[in-house]
Amino acid sequence: MHRFIRLSILLMGLFAASSSYSADVQLAPLTTADDLGPAIEQPIEFPHNRHAGLRNPNDPTNSDPLKGGMEINCLYCHTYARRDSVAGIPPIQKCIGCHQNIESVRETPRIKKLFEYWEAKKAIPWKKVHDLPDFVRFNHERHIKRFVFQQNRPVQEVCGACHGDVKTMTVARRQKSLAMGWCISCHEKDHPVTASGNGSLINAEGMPSSMGSLAANGVSIGSQAYWYGFKKPAANAAGAEVAKGPNDCSSCHY
């Protein structure tokens, strides 16, 4: 009997300790180790590293395909990302636009395949790599506008926050968990609110006068959304709560 009681106390203690520890651990911030998704076979093995990878400093002409990239801006091909909720796959037209002038690789198997599609005027059946469930509405445009255009961060850093270091991959592969908690880990975090960021939203023209008092405070937090998963935002100097980003369920789910 003694053993039984002792054992059970021990077990319960262990359970309580381990669960409270795990429950209290903050979610992984943006920079943590990657959560690699499965490798995906695409109709054309598209070399992201070759297109977006860094130039090889030892090879200014960039002639060796194995040793360096073209440093093409992500938004050059994924052009919808800054204007649209979806980033989009570039139309084949875009690939051809460049590749019809690049004779050096014209006869490689991948490019031949590309031209086959082009000549048949057939769309390439790409597989979707970052496929969120249908009830999640992620908006590329806002993220790009905010971080690239308003905060002047490097494009690859901004895209890489969710898509990982694509410039080192051939076919893209999911690098982050993309689970809701992972998204929240960012929205909870204290983003720097710059003058061109949240502040300007409030100071803009056309804003009704009665909202002037809000100008310094940023967007105020809602009443309960953070309870279901969001950290209560810190108050700023004026004592008002400042949101770090959209934090209602209905910002992403509707």
Partner 1 sequence: MDNNFDRRDFLKVLGWGGAAVALSGCGNTSVEDGKETVVSYVEAADYVMPGISVYFNSTCAQCDAGCSITGRVREGRVLKLEGNPDSVINRGKMCGLGQAGVQHHYNPDRVREPLLRTGSSGETITWDKAYALIAEKLNGVSGDQIDFLTGTVSGHLKALLGNYLETLSSKNHYVYEAISPAVQRAANLKSYGMEMPRYSINKAKVVLSFGADFLGAWVSPVHFSQQYAEFRKGVDGQRGVLVQVESKMTLTGANADRWLVVRPGTEGILALGIINALGVAGLSLPANVSALVNAYDKERVSKDTGVSTENLVKLAAMLKERSPSLVLLGSAAEGYEHGSQNAAAINLLNQVLGNVGKTVEASASVPFPQIAPTIGNTAGARIVNNRLASGQTKVLFTYGVNPVFTTPAEMGFKDNMAKAGFKVAFAHYLDETALQADLVLPLDSALEDWGTQVAEYQPDGVQISVQQPLMEKLHPNTRGMGDILLALLKQRNPETYNAFDDYYAYLRTALLKNKPQFADSGADDDVFWNGLLGSGIINVSGNLNKLSDKMAVDINLPAPVEKDSKYPFNLIPSVSAHLRDGRHTNQPWLQESPDPLTTIVWDSWVEIHPKKAAELGIVEGDILQVESKSGSIKAQAYLFPGIHPDAVSIPLGRGHEAMGRYAKGYGVNPFHILNRVFDRETGELAMHETMVSISKVGKRVIVVKDEGAAGGHQDGRRIALSVTSDQVDLSEEV
Partner 2 sequence: MKDINEDIAWAKINTDVLRSLESPRKLYWVIVFGALAVFSVAVGCEVYQYNMGMGVANMDNPHVWGLYIATFIFWIGMSHSGTLLSAILHLMHADWRKPIYRFAEAMTTFSLMTAGLFVMVHLGRLWQFYYSLPYPNDRSLWPNFQSPLLWDAMAIFTYLSSSVIFLFVGMIPDLAICRDHLHAGWRKKLYTVLALGWEGTDRQWRNFRVTYLTIACFLIPLAVSVHSIVASDFAMSQQPGWHVTSFPPYFVAGALYSGCAAIITLFIILRYTFKFEEYMTLAILKKTVRLTFAIAMVWTYLNAVEFASVWYSHDIASKEVLIQKATGPYAIAWWGMIFCGSVVPLILAFKRFQTNIPVLLVTSLLLNLGMWLERWMIVAPTFSHGIYPWTWDHDQWPSWVQWGMVFGSFGWFTLLFMVFCKVFPSVSMYEVKEMVYHRTLASKKLEDSGMQESGKGAH
Partner 3 sequence: MSVTNLLENWAEFRHTHPVDDVPHDPYKWAMSIDMDTCTGCNACSVACYAENNLPVVGKDRYEHGQAMHWMRIERYWPEDGREFPDQGAQFLPMMCQQCEAAPCETVCPVGATNHTADGLNSQAYNRCIGSRYCSANCPFKVRYFNWYDYPTTENVWPAEMTMQLNPDITLRGKGVMEKCTFCVQRIRAGERSVKNEGRILRDGEVQTACQQVCPTNAITFGNLVDPDSRVHQQWKAQRVELTVDEQEKDKEEGGSDLRGYRILEELRPYPSVMYLERVRESAI
**In the complex, which residues of this chain contact partner 3 (CB under 8 A)?**
20, 23-26, 133-135, 137, 139, 141-142, 145, 184, 196, 200-202, 204-211, 214, 219-232, 243, 247-251, 253-254
Residue 59, Cβ density class (10 Å: 0-12 exposed, 13-18 middle, ≥19 buried): exposed
Q: Is 137 in the site for partner 1 (CB under 8 A)?
A: yes
Dihedral class, residue 63 (left if φ above 0, else alpha if ψ from -120 to 50, else beta):
alpha
Question: Of 198 and 247, which CB lies nearer to partner 2 in the complex structure?
Answer: 247
- Give, as one character, the DSSP assignment of residue 232: P
What six digits make up the tokens of 216? 């310094």
Q: Does 33 bind partner 2 (CB under 8 A)?
A: no
Question: By rule CB under 8 A, what string of x and - marks binding of each residue 202-241 to partner 1?
Answer: ----------------------------------------
User: Binders of partner 2 among 177-196, rule CB under 8 A?
Assistant: 177, 179-182, 184-185
Q: Which helix (H) or strand (E) holds 24?
A: helix 2-24
> What type of residue is 52?
A
Regarding 102 and contact with partner 2 (CB under 8 A), the answer is no
**Span 48-87, contacts to partner 1 by CB under 8 A:** 80, 83-87
Q: Is 230 exposed, middle or buried (0-12, 13-18, 19+ CB in 10 A)?
A: buried
CA distances to 94, 183, 214, 215, 252 from 219, in Å: 40, 19, 8, 9, 17
CB of 187 to partner 1, least distance (A): 17
Report the alpha-carbon distance of residue 246 to residue 254 in Å, rounded. 14
107: DSSP letter? T
Nearer to partner 3 (CB atom), residue 72 or residue 202: 202
CB of 53 to partner 1, least distance (A): 22
178 binds, among partner 1, partner 2, partner 3, none (CB under 5 to 8 A by kind): partner 1
User: Considering the complex, what minimum distance in angstroms separates the CB of residue 54 from partner 1?
Assistant: 26
The rounded distance, in Å, linking the Cα atoms of 51 and 77 is 10
Instruction: Give the footprint of partner 2 on this chain (CB under 8 A).
Output: 1-5, 19, 22-23, 27, 177, 179-182, 184-185, 227-230
